[in-house]
Amino acid sequence: MTVKIICDTSADLNLSNDETLYEEYDIEWVPMHVIFGTDDYKELVDLKTSEFYKMLLTAEKHPSTSQSTQHDLLKAYEKFGDKYDEIISLHLSSKVSGAAANAQFAKKMYEKTYPKGAKIHVYDTLTASSPLGMMAIKATQLAKEGLNATDLIKKLDEWRLNDYAFFFSVGDLKWLFQGGRLSRAKYYLGTLMSKSPVIALVDGSLEVLKSISGLDNAVEAMIEMGLNDLQDDPKNITVHFLQAVFQKETEEYAKKIKEKYPDIKIGTIFTLGGVIASHTGPGTIGIVLTRNFEL
């Protein structure tokens, strides 16, 4: 069985200087959309990540976003449908986006037109951003081992449940609130406390787990919570980061973490893409602890 991995650009496999990891790991990506006013941009096609941040920092209004179109998803399925036996299409949590639903519609369109084409599996990752991207990388690694899609998805489920932990903090909760990803009650509670929030995707939904005085303490709490979740020796854990207009600060946090946990491995610093950063805003930092995952 041959399996092709497809995801959308909310996977945030972005590095600095507009480089990405999609091509290196043979992952096909389908653009999501960032909308400034009446201008609609396809992420990474019409709008590079660096260009997005220049616009974000000068825009008068909060940008909006939309998921990959059914047409673009269908084109991706058509591109590989006669080259692979199966396709796994990975998307961010259905609790925060309609991306997986659009993929399901595109799948039905594909199956109607190409009944003998590749079997398509739409996978709701129940996560977002670089952790989604890591799952796409993990999937390509498993596909190269010869696993069929059913067995591969079981492995992804196991990894998601047991081998990774993801937390993030934002400079200002207004971005999540205005983007419709955080309820009014949670927004006002977090704002009134005037602290750094520790946020996670719990069963696919955004939850503010803690509000802590000072970002330094929030980052430390995220590491401790992740190590507690994984229940393993730090030497078996790799810490990855994601950031939005926070590169230098994130590099400093990586150094501090390594000093406190000498055995822990420091992984990659990812840059949030336009779709996710439109909802989290500048000053976002995320911590992803992984086990059984190597770039």
Report the C-alpha gap between 292 and 212 in whole angstroms.
30
Same domain, residue pair 158 and 184: no
Domain edge (last residue) among 98, 128, 162: 162
Does residue 127 carry a pLDDT above 90? yes
**Residues paired with residue 196 on neighbouring β-strands, in sequence order:** 212
Residue 193 exposed, middle or buried by CB count within 10 Å (0-12, 13-18, 19+)? middle
130 lies in a domain?
yes
In a domain, 83, yes or no: yes
Same-domain status, 283 and 270: yes
Q: Is the pLDDT of residue 13 over 50?
A: yes
Q: What is the DSSP letter of 125?
A: -
- Per-residue pLDDT band at 180 (split at 50, 70, 90): low
Contact 3, 138 (CB under 8 A): no
The burial class, CB within 10 Å (0-12 / 13-18 / 19+), for 68 is buried
Other CB atoms within a 10 A radius of the CB of residue 30 amount to 29
CATH of the domain at 16: 3.40.50.10170
In whole angstroms, what is the distance from residue 74 CA to residue 115 CA?
A: 14
CATH number at residue 194: 3.30.1180.10
φ, ψ at 90 (rounded to 5°): -95, 140
Q: Which residues are within 8 A (CB) of 177 and not within 5 positions of it... i.e. 6 or more apart?
A: 183, 184, 187
- Mean pLDDT value of segment 87-92: 98
pLDDT interval class at 154 (50, 70, 90): very high
Q: What is the DSSP string of 196-264?
A: EEEEEEETTEEEEEEEESSHHHHHHHHHHHHHHHHTS-GGG-EEEEEEES-HHHHHHHHHHHHHH-TTS
pLDDT of residue 1: 83
Check whether 177 has a pLDDT greater than 70: no
- The answer to whether the beta carbons of residues 225 and 287 sit under 8 Å apart is no
Show which of 162, 190, 215 is a domain's final residue: 162
The greatest distance separating any two alpha carbons of the chain, rounded to the nearest whole angstrom, comes to 57
> What pTM, to 2 d.p., does this model score?
0.93
Among 14-23, 79-88, 202-211, the range scoring the smallest mean pLDDT is 202-211
Cα distance between residue 9 and residue 205, in whole Å: 19
Helices (H), 67-119: 70-81, 99-113
The verdict on 119 and 10 lying in the same domain is: yes
**What's the confidence (pLDDT) of residue 109?**
98
Residue 295 covered by a domain: no
Q: Tell me: do 135 and 33 sit in the same domain.
A: yes
Q: How high is the pLDDT of residue 188? A: 46
According to the model, what pLDDT value does residue 59 have? Answer: 87
Residues 84 and 175 occupy one common structural domain: no
Sheet strands side by side (includes 284-290): 205-212, 196-202, 164-169, 284-290, 238-244, 265-271
Calpha distance 168→210 (Å, rounded):
11
Q: Are 177 and 248 part of one and the same domain?
A: yes
Question: Is 182 in the same domain as 73?
Answer: no
Shared domain for 177 and 282, answered yes or no, is yes
Instruction: Calculate the alpha carbon distances from 245 to 41, 54, 163, 271, 284 in Å.
Output: 20, 10, 28, 8, 8
The tally of domains found in the chain comes to 2
Domain range holding 55?
Answer: 3-162
Statement to judge: residues 186 and 157 lie in one domain: no
> Which residue in 213, 234, 270, 285 sits closest to 9, CA to CA?
270
Co-location of 264 and 208 in the same domain: yes
